[in-house]
Amino acid sequence: MAGDDDTDDWADAMNEQAAAEAQAQAASMESLKEEGEGLKDVDTDKLDVILDIPVSLSMEVGRTQIPIRSLLQLTQGSVVELDRLAGEPLDVMVNGTMIAHGEVVVVNEKYGIRLTDVMSPAERIQKLK
């Protein structure tokens, strides 16, 4: 059947494309690791492509799990206990991946965060895998 040959050709082409993309991603990750720990060691031409991409930065105070029944009973003034102790550092997350720890500060009457422990670029790249 001619239709089966077209489907097989299409599937082969898709598999080749997926393999090429995986190989390219692995090669780019390896080249970043080989070039050193800091961003100053990475060729800026390679980074220019991604430097203006916006990412979501958030701070996580803590987490908890509650049943839906309790969630529906929350009202103004309710207190939800989290899994962190008071005074523990917050997690700084970029697109859901932790990259640092920090503490809350007030800057010009707005909340901010002072980074106390930042993962190295190599550790951040490792977490992307």
Instruction: Please indicate, yes or no, whether the overall pTM of this predicted structure exceeds 0.85.
Output: no
Alpha carbons 69 and 71: distance in angstroms, whole number = 5
Domain count, the chain: 1
**Residue-number span of the structural domain to which 70 is assigned:** 56-74+86-128
Answer for the pair 113, 58: CB distance below 8 angstroms, yes or no.
no
Q: pLDDT band at residue 32, thresholds of 50, 70 and 90?
A: very low
Please state the φ and ψ torsions of residue 20, each to the nearest 5 degrees: -65, -40
Is 101 contained in some domain? Answer: yes
Task: Encode pLDDT of 84-126 as tens digits.
Answer: 998 899 999 988 888 999 999 999 999 999 999 999 888 877 7
The answer, yes or no, to whether residue 54 has pLDDT greater than 80, is: yes
SS (H, E, C) 14-41: HHHHHHHHHHHHHHHHHHHHHCCCCHHH
**Tell me, what CATH number does 90's domain have?**
2.30.330.10
